[in-house]
Every structure is written in structure tokens, then in C-alpha cells.
Chain A
């Protein structure tokens, strides 16, 4: 019974908070440009409106086009279950680890790229090929960094890694953690289609990657795609803030009070991190597509150095 409650709580937090993250990022970006910007809750309004609308589907589209919004959304939800928001709430603890997480997201991405190709529009195919290129460049560095964390924690479960980071006998300024943190930061920017890699606010054909794939969608399908993308973004942010900025060891309460307090701190951390992400985004420019391998090489190098540091010298 408690397990079911935890699962529902986890899904509820992810679904309810993830549009907020996009809203905060947009608002901060608007403020740095001296614009007023859309309200922070804009994505909620968009999603409710889109869910009410009818979906228009091309008559050339196959079943993949109709299925992939559901696949993208459900893989994002399943991935969110593997990353506990606090160590007090543990959904699905024994049923999946961090490798499962990476490949659940990859399954969603696979269907997304297929649906981009499915209708045969030029933009969709272009976006899909770019997405596949970026994700295949980023995959080595994701795996090396999560394996390094797994080696240190002696377990590949995110819960165990979080517990290890909270235990107080690791120092957060240790070079291994700094390197892995920076690598995961680059990965987050690339995977959630943020600015150095992809510009989420544009529909210019030269630059769009993620937007190009979902260009053909409308109505509730579009809503599911958007929600899935923002949940995926929250998954990566949660991974970073919960591993490298642990907070549960500070809470002495147990039971319901502990859970509430911990979730409140978690939301504060996520909002703070999204402000930082927005600031990072306004201070750089979008890279040329062929400069993305440089970024991927840098990210791989960071995770690899962290791994090597741990492997040769221990911590």
C-alpha cells in the first residue's frame, strides 16, 4: 500500500512540477532581456488547452505516428520513477537502475525520431537525423559518468548513489564529483535541447532539432509530447540536484513531516537550478551543428577523467 502511495506521489510531483521548470527558465530569460515574458504557469495553460483540442493526423501517417506520443510520455514517466525525489520516498527501488533509466529515455527518443520520419515531411527527417547524431554523441559520456558514480557507490541504483552522497563520508568538492557534475551538466543541456545544442524557442529550419520532430503534431498528441519532453528535462535536473546537492541528511523529522519538508527543499533546489540553467543559456550562443562533437568530446573527457581519477587513485 505504501509502495503504491509512493509511486503516485512521485508521478504526481514529476507531472505537476515539470512544466514549472520550463516556465521558470523562460521567465528568467525574458527578465534578462528586459522583457516581461509569459507567465510562469504558461505551459500549464497551453497543455490544458491542447488536451481539449482535436488532433489532426495526416492520412499518410502510420500507426507509429499515433503511438509515439504515448510511448514518449510513458517512458518519461517510467524513467521518473527510477529517480527518487527524496530518499524518504522510494518508488520501484528494486526494479530498475540507472542503466535502465538511460535506455528508457532512449526508447522514447527512438519513437520520437521514428514519428519525425513517419509523415515524410522534410523538417521531420532533418530533425530526426540531427537528434540521433546528438544523442549518439552524448551516450558514451552519460554511461561513463553514471558508471563512475555506480563504482563509487558500489551499486547502479540511483537510490543507493543518493544515499552514498548523503552519508557524509564523501566530500562534495572531491575532483571526481566536480568532473562528473560538469559532464552531467553538458549532457543535461544537450539532452533537454537547451541552447548550446538546440534552441527550444525557435522554429527556424536551420537550427531546430527537437521542434522539427514534433512539428506535425497537434492537439492532445502535442500536449503529451510537450509534457514528456519537460518530464525528461526534470528527470535530468533531479538526477543532478539530488546526487550532487544532497539535502536529506539535514532533515531530522521522520514520517509525513519529513517527506513534506524534503519535497519542499527539493522543489527549491529544482527552481534554483533552473534559474542557473537559464542564466547559462543567455550567456552562450547556439553552436553550429558541427561544433556539437566538440562539446560531446569535452563532456566525454570530463566523465572519463573522473573515472580515471577514481580508478587509479581511489577517493
Chain B
């Protein structure tokens, strides 16, 4: 059990690295879908264990909500937003991809050495997983600032949220049910609004590049 959770948390970290090395917007969405599927599996594993040991149903319910929301609904929504935009490949980054991947390695080293030294976490469930999920959050932030395209930035935001969710799940066996649900409703609203925004930006500026937002239009 612990071994599988370890493996899943490493695969999640790996999926953020794959996301970082991607260039095509369609593969951003695909990788995000895969990462969310991994998170759904993890939640289902933890939920099943807490159901069999103490009869709690809530983590299981949360895992089905994750699969419905983050594996199916949000990626489809982003995909349909992408249909309306002509940009398919991201061309110029602030830094090139190998350097971004190496910086992400640096982030992982940073969180491995800084967080594994925290004493409270060492007595918690499993610190490897917490370290991995915190590096996932930081890498989501890096992804967000390295991409100029609006859809890329939405995906970065969702990766940050995934990281937060996984951190909470690994450190406490799931947040209270009502808080999880509240966060999910927040995400749906945020993604819906951002999707409309991207569409509008694309319409007004003829591109989904957020750097163009600095240009003045008379």
C-alpha cells in the first residue's frame, strides 16, 4: 500500500516534468488529464483504505468527483476553448525547455532537502510524498510563469491546485468533505471564467498570448 502510494506520487511528479518539457497545447491538456487520473487513483486508494478501516465514505466520494471533474470535464472544456484559437504550438518561452527542466530539478532538490528536515512531517504519514507534492506546487508556479499562452497558464493554475490537493491528502488523509467540495466548486467557476476570458482575449487581440495584453489599443 505504502509502496504503491509512493510510486503514484513519483509518477505525479514525473507528469509535471513531462508537462514542463511539452510544447504543444494539446499535450498540455493531455498531460494534465493523466496527472489528474493519477490523483484520482491515489484518492481512491486512500479512500478505500479509510473506508475499510473506519467506515468513512467521504474520500471515496471525493475521488469520484475528481475523476468526473478533472479527468473528464475540465480537460474537455479546455479542449473546446483550444478549438477556437489558432495557436497550437508554443514558440518562444522565457527560457528554453532544457533549462526549465533543470530548474525544476533544482526545485525538487530544494524541497527534498528543506522539507525532509521538518520534524513534524517526519512523524506524519510519509514524507516522500509530501515533498513530491510540494515540488509539484512549485513546478506549477514555474510552469505558469514560463508560458506566455493563456491556456498554458490555466493548466499551470490547475497543476498548482492539484499539488495543493495532493499535499492535503497525503498529510491528513483528506481534508473535511465540505472544504474539498467548496474548492472544487471554486475551480469549476475559475476555469469557466478563465475559458471565457481566453476566448475574449483571443477575439480582441487576435492572439491568446498574454504578453500582448500590455499593448495599448485605441
Contact = CB atoms under 8 A, between A and B. Distances in A.
Question: Are A and B bound to each other?
Answer: yes
A308 B108 contact: yes
A297 B102 contact: yes
A302 B14 contact: yes
B108 A173 contact: no
Given A301-B105, A312-B116, A173 B4 contact: yes
Contacts of B6: 174-175
Given A297-B102, A312-B116, A173 B97 contact: no
Given A309-B128, A313-B116, A297 B7 contact: no
B127 to A, nearest CB: 8
Given A175-B7, A179-B10, A309-B10, A294 B116 contact: no
Interface in A275-315: 293-294, 296-298, 300-302, 304-305, 308-309, 312-313
Nearest to B8: A175
A294 B21 CA distance: 7
B143 interface: no
A178 interface: yes
B176 interface: no
Contacts of A33: none
B14 A174 contact: no
A173 B3 contact: yes
B7 A296 contact: no
B113 interface: yes
A312 B3 contact: no
Contact of A297 (B9, B13, B98): B98
Contact-size category for A: 20 to 34
A254 interface: no
Given A297-B21, A298-B17, A298-B18, A305 B10 contact: yes
A293 B23 CA distance: 13
Contacts of A300: 101-102, 105
Nearest to B101: A297
A302 B18 CA distance: 10
Contacts of A297: 21, 97-98, 101-102
A294 B90 CA distance: 15
B162 interface: no
B112 A308 contact: yes
A178 B105 contact: no
A129 B66 CA distance: 49
Contacts of A169: none
B77 interface: no
Interface in A138-168: none
B109 interface: yes
A171 interface: yes
B108 to A, nearest CB: 6
A312 B113 contact: yes
A173 to B, nearest CB: 6
Given A173-B3, A297-B21, A297-B98, A308 B109 contact: yes
A248 B98 CA distance: 39
Nearest to A137: B98
B10 A301 contact: no
Interface string B1-39: 001101101110110011001000000000000000000
Given A297-B21, A312-B113, A178 B10 contact: yes
Contacts of A313: 116, 127-128
Contact of B97 (A294, A302, A305): A294
A267 B9 CA distance: 34
B63 interface: no
Contacts of B109: 308
Contacts of B10: 175, 178-179, 305, 309
B167 interface: no
B104 interface: yes
Contacts of B97: 293-294, 297
A305 B10 CA distance: 9
Contacts of B128: 175, 309, 313
Given A301-B104, A301-B105, 16 more contacts: A171-B3, A173-B7, A178-B11, A179-B10, A179-B14, A293-B98, A296-B98, A298-B17, A300-B101, A301-B101, A301-B102, A305-B108, A308-B108, A308-B109, A308-B112, A313-B128
Closest 8 A/B residue pairs (Cβ): A175-B10, A297-B98, A297-B101, A294-B97, A293-B98, A312-B112, A294-B21, A298-B21
19 contacts: A171-B3, A173-B4, A174-B3, A174-B7, A175-B7, A175-B10, A175-B128, A294-B101, A297-B102, A300-B102, A302-B14, A304-B105, A305-B14, A308-B109, A308-B112, A309-B128, A313-B116, A313-B127, A313-B128
